[in-house]
Structures are given as structure tokens and as C-alpha cells.
Structure 1
């Protein structure tokens, strides 16, 4: 991430491209997924099949079939499907707002947004995606602590 412009004042989050591993400037990329893939993957199963119909062994062995959110430069991998321009999700309040907004989408539960959030919050993560501009160790306390 060398040679890139530092985040502007008031920006809580950096966007790091999952392809080239460089910072994404405003107007140059997006956080996106293809929700139609969730519908296509479900196929004829519809919403009838739930996790409660599987054994524990089957759930642990099951591949991750959720639709994955991507964070990329437009030039590295053009965003298709549902996209959020990086400049619209650079603060914690904006991230929370988008989470609440997306929860109203019927396809949202079929995505890995929860992994995106948890990785953003992990101060030890080296993964590209949305990263805090200032790393804070949250101590990984349990909810309610």
C-alpha cells in the first residue's frame, strides 16, 4: 500500500483492493456482490432447506456457498450486481447504515457480509477489504461485556 494517498480527515475506513492490494481512492472502486448468484445457487431448493435440516457433521463439512462481497478497484475487477461506492462507506456510521439498509434485502442473508464486518473489526487481520484507518484493539470481548 505504499505510494498511495493517506485517508482524508474523517475517514474511519480504508478500502484495500482484493486484486492488487492497493488502497482504493474515492471514485475508483466499490464494495460489491452479485446477489443474483444467491438466487441461482439456491435453484429449486428455494427457502425450504434450512440449516436445521442438516446434521452437525454436514454443516461443518459444507462448503461456503454464500455470495461473497468484494472490495476492488474498477480497473482491477469491475463491480457488477449490487455495489456501494467506497466513498459512501468510509465511516463507521456509514458502515452501520449500509448494514441496516442491506438487512432489508431478501438476498442479504445469503451473503458473507458478517465475515466482512468481523474482518474489518479484527485488529490483527492482514486481509484486503475494508480496514480501519486507525487500528484499535477491541480485546475481542464477548457481546455484553
Structure 2
């Protein structure tokens, strides 16, 4: 993946982002906003939460990948949280411990689908999942992704 899609200021390790899908997505949207990649937290969070309500984005490995396009987003961005408290994203093997938020500009074409595809390929590798779970710094997460 392009190295600038995720940066250390878009990573939260062992974070308590709340107990609901809405809270986790809003907190990740806040990271994107605070990194200067979204003009409004609510305008970014809302479409991701609405998308989640249609179908959960939990995938095998206790991972969730909420995603959306939003006019509030200035460039394709990937935010990541390793949660201290797992949250139900309707995953096949239980609550999500690792959450990636893919935020793409509204007119960004298929940028978010490219990110999703590359991420999904990496997430089927157990060594990648293990490394995400044991990384001790934001820099390690960025290097892995």
C-alpha cells in the first residue's frame, strides 16, 4: 500500500474507543479529521455508520473494516485501532479487536476498493494478524501495513 495512506497519527493502539460500532467509527473518524484528512468528523462517520447498519464489516480474524466515501475526506486514508475492548461488527468469529477505517473522497472513484482489496489480501495471512496484535508502536503498524 502507498505509505501515505496510513501514518502514525492515524493509529490507535490498545485504545478504548467505546463499546459500540458507532463510537469506534466516530473515534477513528476523529483521528482522520485530526490528521487533516477530513473537514468534519460527523460527515465522515455518518456514511460509514450507515454502511455498517446495512451489513456488518467484520471479517475473519476478529477484524472489522468499516469503509465509506465522503465529501468530508480530502484524500484516501486508512485509520487503524487495536481495541482494548472488542466490539461487535458482526464478524464471523466474534467481536472485532482490530479495526481499519477506510475513508475515501466522495469523487475518489475506486480508491477505497483498491485499499479494501489489498487489505483483505493481507488479512488472510496469520503472520500479518499476529504482527498487528503484537506491534509495540504506531511506527510498527505503519511499516506492516
TM-score using structure 1 length: 0.28
* More strand as a share of residues: 2
Q: Choose between structure 1 and 2 for higher RCO, CA contacts under 8 A separated by at least 6 residues.
A: 1
The structure that has the greater radius of gyration is 1
* More helix as a share of residues: 2
TM-score using structure 2 length: 0.28
